[in-house]
Amino acid sequence: MHKKLSYKFLFLFIIISCFSANSQVLRKRTTLLMGGRFDISIVAKDSLTAEQNINEVIAEITRIENLISDWKPTSQVSEVNQNAGIKPVKVDREVFELTQRALKLSEITKGGFDVSFAAMDRIWKFDGSMTEMPSAEAIKKSVEKVGYKNIILDSVQSTIFLKLKGMKIGFGALGEGYATDKCRAMMIAKGIEAGIINGSGDMSTWGKQPSGQPWKIGITNPFKPEKVLAIVPLNGGAVTTSGSYEKFVVFNGKRYSHIINPATGYPATGLCSVTVFGPDAETANGLSTSMMVLGKNEGLLLLQKFPNYSCLMITDNGKVIKSKNFSIKKFTAKL
């Protein structure tokens, strides 16, 4: 699922100890899915079992991509978009419920996150070609077709209707997290005791490495990309990072992120990185993106509504901020 609109940028990686203390083996594969990179690591009793389950994970992610990608013309989400302003479209319950959750997050953030952001005009350029800010009029016009309040869901009929012609919904800020969560649940149901699925930085983990050690997540220093800001051990759960340290512009001394506020059309400012930890990657993904847009104060207020999630923020001036409920032990961070 391609993300032509740069709604987030992720910079997490896995630190793996390959020593096996209990005859289990770790197998890892990297592939391109949903328009991005997936790193799939499975711990199993033997190599064949691990590889077979990696194949199943890839098949499941492909199934989800074909269902929800707004860049695949045959997907159900594309059908919804093609019928914007025309008629409701019946979708699978899975697609309906994912849209329902996305719409709820849109409501909670008052449009800081908006599942209809896919209709936004791409007037901001972060490839070095911009020499001045777009006009206020152009910015206002760029979000005319964005608006979660114009999405009508019918739970009985399982339909989605976009009221305005030209509207689009997209899951570029939730899709990978949703896919990694689904695959984790599938593997656990099959009796696979440990693994980690990393979809472009949206990670769902369970169990431990063959060495008996927890999975360790490295977070890149946004000001020194060649260095690690922090190494965080995870005993299950999920982690996602949204950030803007590679794609931004500066006008009149102010830094504008490539992550655009879908409610205003203006880039996010103030934060260059937000990492969210919690039970599932879909929610963590939505929260990290939303918090980048909302900024430090409103972002921390939003997180309070999700007590099972904690965060690590880095401001544009290099300050590291942890939420009050951040309780990961053996955590070190150095800019």
pLDDT digits (tens, 9 = 90+) for 119-143: 998 899 888 888 889 999 999 999 9
List, in order, residues 6 or more apart from 78 with CB less than 8 Å away: 69, 70, 71, 72
Q: Name the CATH superfamily for 76-162.
A: ApbE-like superfamily (1.10.3980.10)
Q: Summarize pLDDT for 46-56 with one digit per residue, the tens.
A: 999 999 999 99
Annotated binding site: 173, 289
Spatial separation of the C-alpha atoms in residues 53 and 161, rounded to whole Å: 37
Q: Annotate 151-204 with DSSP letters as a single string.
A: EEEETTTTEEEESSTT-----TTTHHHHHHHHHHHHHHHTT--EEEEEETTEEE
d(CA 85, CA 162): 6
- Exposed, middle or buried by CB within 10 Å (0-12, 13-18, 19+), for 36? middle
**Burial of residue 197, with CB atoms counted within 10 A of its CB: 0-12 exposed, 13-18 middle, 19 or more buried:** buried
77 within 8 A of 95, measured Cβ to Cβ: yes
pLDDT at 1: 44
Task: Identify the three-state secondary structure at position 96.
Answer: helix
For the chain, give every domain's residue range.
24-67+173-201, 76-162
- Counting Cα atoms < 13 Å in the Cβ hemisphere of 258 gives 20
b/e sequence 270-293, b meaning 16+ C-beta within 10 Å: bbbbbbbbbebbbbbbbbbbbbbb
Per-residue pLDDT of the chain (335 residues; tens, 9 = 90+): 444 333 444 556 666 655 444 579 999 999 999 999 999 999 999 999 999 999 999 999 999 999 999 999 999 999 999 999 999 999 999 999 999 999 999 999 999 999 999 999 889 988 888 888 999 999 999 999 999 999 999 999 999 999 999 999 999 889 999 999 999 999 999 999 999 999 988 999 999 999 999 998 888 888 887 788 888 888 889 999 998 776 788 888 887 878 899 999 999 889 989 999 999 999 999 999 999 999 999 999 999 999 999 999 999 888 989 999 987 655 555 55
**Binding-site sequence positions for Mg(2+):** 173, 289
Sheet with 271-278, strands from edge to edge, namely: 25-33, 36-44, 194-199, 202-206, 237-243, 271-278, 310-315, 320-322
pTM above 0.85, yes or no: yes
- Name residues whose C-beta falls within 8 Å of residue 110's C-beta, 6 or more positions apart in sequence: 263
Tokens of 145: 């077709």
- Other CB atoms within 10 Å distance of the CB of residue 301: 11
CA–CA gap between residue 199 and residue 242 (Å, rounded): 13
- Give pLDDT, residue 6: 39
